[in-house]
């Protein structure tokens, strides 16, 4: 019976069918990585980014806008236990981003971008009169680049930490459950910190990211697991105070140190990245004899660009492996003997049939293990995008999510169809 339920969720049936993230044009980024903006390799191919290329001939100050607006209809079918009474909502959804980028002189550039969020992973939380469900801060940094070196400070994104994804599945800018969550659980990292890089050769760039901040100050914290009562992950312990404290700030009693050396390779027909994320999280800054959560996350990814009679074919694959220590759920002075272990694997392909228009498919699995619990989540997407004009596209996507939890006989999840339109200002 359980096998039949899993199969029913994983069969793509399109006919029945805040933290934040990344699309938009199928434009391939330049081969030279180090001289582009820190976000240039962060967003999947086709995403609006704050790409700013230093230009030695440029003088004075300059500034320009960039962003994207996406919206449409989300049709859904839920598969929940009998005691859960949630019904399908089929919401009309919207997400938008608007930013400015610019520079002063030939080597100094900056970017500042905000996002009006989708309203949660299913798009239920949007509002108007009481304010948008969330205004997310994305790019907020200043950057200096010269002679192959670059350093950015502020709210920055780590280009090696984002998985390769299908450009034709980004109709809602990768902010929904089916496209966002695999990125977060694999270690996608954007937040308050520093990012530096050096272009070793025409194709190879080395980079490093460093954060010292509250766990909610970076998205990379989501990869860390282990229960801290009553929350499933340390990130949510810090985030629980938002909206509840007098100043609406996250719990200031938590602090994380997070570092990520990386390698990025890019040629005409192949892209690849490798990174190790190392971290130490203190959950009780108010005491000195507590234990910290230490761990690491190994990441690899690759994507090819192949010319075929039908158009450009771009297969990709990503894998990450995370291990971290677990504290006693009720007393941070003690560590458990067991470790939290997780891995993510994703793969997919894009076929560009005409200019930027085409079809794409992806599959991702997130597997987590901790004492007395084993959870496996599956994400399947199949979609197409048609670019009516240079900056305007229509999208159609079918998505499936399935969750298996040890000790439970029923596989739960959801199936959705998205029909969208998006405008890209780049």
Residues 288, 282, 214, CA angle at the centre, nearest 5°?
125
Contact between residue 402 and residue 10 where contact means Cβ atoms under 8 Å apart: yes
Q: What is the pLDDT of residues 220-265, one digit of tens each?
A: 999 999 888 788 888 888 888 776 766 778 888 899 999 999 999 9
SS3 395: strand
**Which element (helix H / strand E) includes 177?**
helix 177-185
Contacts of 38 (CB under 8 A, 6+ apart): 141, 143, 150, 152, 156, 157, 158, 159, 195, 197
Nearest one of 219, 230, 202 to 256, comparing CA atoms: 219
What per-residue confidence (pLDDT) applies to 10?
43
**Residue 29 confidence class, pLDDT cut points 50, 70, 90:** very low
Length of the chain, in residues: 426
Nearest one of 26, 65, 40, 73 to 391, comparing CA atoms: 26
Q: What is the pLDDT of residues 2-20, one digit of tens each?
A: 444 444 444 433 333 344 4
**Residue 44 confidence class, pLDDT cut points 50, 70, 90:** very low
Q: How far apart are CA 39 and CA 225, in angstroms?
A: 26
- State the residue range of the domain holding 178: 2-425
Number of domains in the chain: 1
Contact between residue 56 and residue 68 where contact means Cβ atoms under 8 Å apart: no
Strands 204-213 and 149-157: unpaired
What's the CATH number where 276 sits? Answer: 2.40.160.10
Contacts of 82 (CB under 8 A, 6+ apart): none
Least confident of 23-37, 142-156, 333-347: 23-37
Higher pLDDT, 303 or 231: 303
């Amino acid at each position: 019976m359980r096998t039949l339920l899993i199969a029913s969720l994983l069969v793509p049936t399109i006919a029945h069918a805040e933290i934040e993230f990344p699309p938009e044009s199928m434009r391939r980024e330049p081969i030279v990585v180090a001289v582009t903006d820190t976000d240039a390799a962060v967003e999947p191919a086709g995403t609006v980014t704050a790409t700013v290329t230093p230009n030695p001939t440029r003088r004075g100050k300059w500034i320009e806008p960039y962003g994207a607006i996406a919206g449409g209809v989300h049709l859904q079918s839920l598969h929940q236990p009998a005691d859960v009474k949630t019904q399908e909502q089929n919401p009309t959804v919207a997400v938008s981003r608007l930013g400015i980028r610019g520079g002063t002189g030939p080597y100094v550039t900056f970017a500042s971008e905000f996002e009006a969020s989708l309203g949660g992973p299913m798009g239920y939380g949007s509002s108007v009169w009481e304010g948008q469900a969330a205004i997310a801060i994305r790019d907020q940094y200043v950057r200096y680049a010269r002679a192959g070196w670059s350093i950015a400070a502020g709210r920055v994104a780590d280009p090696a930490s984002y998985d390769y994804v299908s450009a034709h599945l980004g109709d809602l800018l990768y902010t929904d459950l089916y496209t966002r969550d695999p990125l977060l659980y694999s270690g996608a990292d954007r937040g308050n910190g520093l990012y530096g890089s050096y272009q070793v050769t025409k194709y190879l760039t080395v980079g490093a990211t460093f954060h010292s901040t509250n766990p909610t100050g970076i998205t990379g914290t989501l990869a860390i697991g282990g229960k801290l009562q009553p929350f499933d992950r340390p990130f949510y312990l810090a985030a629980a105070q938002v909206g509840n404290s007098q100043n609406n700030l996250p719990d200031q009693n938590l602090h994380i140190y997070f570092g990520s050396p990386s390698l990025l390779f890019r040629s005409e027909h192949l892209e690849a990245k490798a990174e190790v994320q190392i971290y130490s999280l203190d959950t009780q800054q108010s005491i000195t004899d507590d234990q910290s959560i230490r761990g690491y996350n190994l990441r690899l990814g690759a994507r090819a660009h192949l010319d075929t009679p039908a158009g450009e074919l771009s297969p990709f694959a990503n894998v990450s492996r995370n291990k971290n220590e677990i504290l006693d759920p009720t007393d941070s002075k003690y560590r458990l003997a067991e470790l939290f272990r997780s891995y993510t694997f994703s793969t997919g392909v894009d076929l560009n049939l005409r200019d930027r228009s085409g079809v794409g498919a992806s599959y991702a699995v997130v597997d987590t293990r901790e004492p007395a619990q084993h959870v496996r989540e599956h994400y399947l997407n199949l979609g197409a995008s048609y670019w009516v004009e240079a900056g305007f596209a229509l999208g159609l996507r079918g998505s499936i999510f399935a969750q298996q939890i040890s000790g439970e006989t029923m596989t739960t999840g959801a199936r959705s169809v998205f029909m969208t339109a998006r405008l890209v200002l780049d």
